Amino acid sequence: MNQPTQDDELTRVLPAVTMPDPAAEGDRRSRRGGGPALPAKRSRLTPPWTRRPSDPAGSVPVLIGAVPSGFSPLTAPREPLATLEGRNISAWFGERQVLDRVNLTMPAGVITSLIGPSGCGKSTFLRILNRMHELVPSASLAGEVLLDGEDIYDPERKLVDARKHIGMVFQKPNPFPAMSIYDNVIAGLTLTGRRASTDEKDYLVESCLTKAGLWTEVRDRLRAPGGGLSGGQQQRLCIARSLAVTPRILLMDEPCSALDPTSTRVIEETMLELAHEVTIVIVTHNMQQAQRVSQNCAFFLAAQGTPGGIVEHGPTELMFGDPIDNRTADYVNGRFG
């Protein structure tokens, strides 16, 4: 029933992912995965999606035209660019462990790409970063996700706060198909409880669609259904929708995998333009895309029968041009995966 996949065959011949000895690595440790080997304490997430008590726990947006009067809810000074950090992240689906003590810092104002073969835990790690992992009934995790030093899984923090600060764009565009382009953009305001006047909404729609590179294409049909757009336009609409709640982090799970080369180029240009105001983390299987858009890169790998982990991470230029680990060199040069 469970037939071995090509990735399974590849991982059979790869050595197990092991965490390096910090003392032995010296200065090179900054580009290695792992960190101090702390015992993972498992925390099964149950409604209302908090850890059990026994577990451990800038600039003004660029807007178009004159600012309408009384625009305070949407033109409040943007919070400083945020750093996101995963500390000793382990994850399970039921009894199957899929990540083991992953440590990664995603610096403020930088695009970080997560690369690696299918099934190595990249997308799971990404979903953990904005508390989507817990939506799976059998899911559990250990570790911390720190947004500027504060754990988003702290029982005192509301789920809506995490989603407001950490937006998500998925592999398949998911606009609300029967909802208009205009209403798609402002949908996040209702979900996060933000009030706005009609003028404020108009201004926000234009601003976010402009940032997503879509305004000139749709400004004359804002009341048309979002589901009527092309695939690339729908993905940019989803980006605009995420930007409407002024997130500090934007997570993107293979946002271009279903798009044509022209749409991919537009999305990549959009990411590069947004990087000055939001920290971006992208999962991609496209090595050329990782090189084009990211400044930092982390390589995930899982040997057969073992959970995923980070083999190596660091500046994208060094990861592709002078990797430390031979497995990294083999992957980025297309020898497996």
Specify the pTM: 0.78
Q: Quick one: pLDDT at residue 43?
A: 45
Quote the CA–CA distance of 281 and 254 in Å, as a whole number.
10
User: How far are the Cα atoms of 33, 129, 167, 236, 302 from residue 105, in angstroms, in the given order?
Assistant: 11, 12, 17, 27, 20
Quote the CA–CA distance of 47 and 323 in Å, as a whole number.
42
User: How far are the Cα atoms of 29, 65, 112 from residue 84, in angstroms, in the given order?
Assistant: 19, 33, 11
- The answer to whether 131 and 152 have CB atoms below 8 angstroms apart is yes
Please provide the CATH number assigned to the domain covering 78-173+247-332. 3.40.50.300
Quote the CA–CA distance of 293 and 307 in Å, as a whole number.
28
Q: Where are the domains of the chain?
A: 78-173+247-332
Q: Give the orientation angle of helix 198-211 with respect to helix 231-243, to 10 degrees.
A: 130
Assign 165 to helix, strand or coil: helix
Q: Quick one: pLDDT at residue 72?
A: 40
> Each residue's pLDDT tens digit in the chain (337 positions)?
444 443 333 333 333 333 334 343 444 445 666 544 444 444 434 333 333 233 333 333 333 333 444 444 444 456 688 999 999 999 999 999 999 999 999 999 999 999 999 999 999 999 999 999 988 889 999 999 999 999 999 988 888 888 889 999 998 899 998 899 999 999 988 776 778 888 999 999 999 999 999 999 999 999 999 999 999 999 999 999 999 988 999 999 999 988 889 989 999 999 999 998 899 999 999 999 999 999 999 999 998 889 999 999 999 999 999 999 999 999 999 888 7
- The answer to whether 26 and 8 have CB atoms below 8 angstroms apart is no
Please give the single-letter amino acid code of residue 188: G
Q: Quick one: pLDDT at residue 190?
A: 76
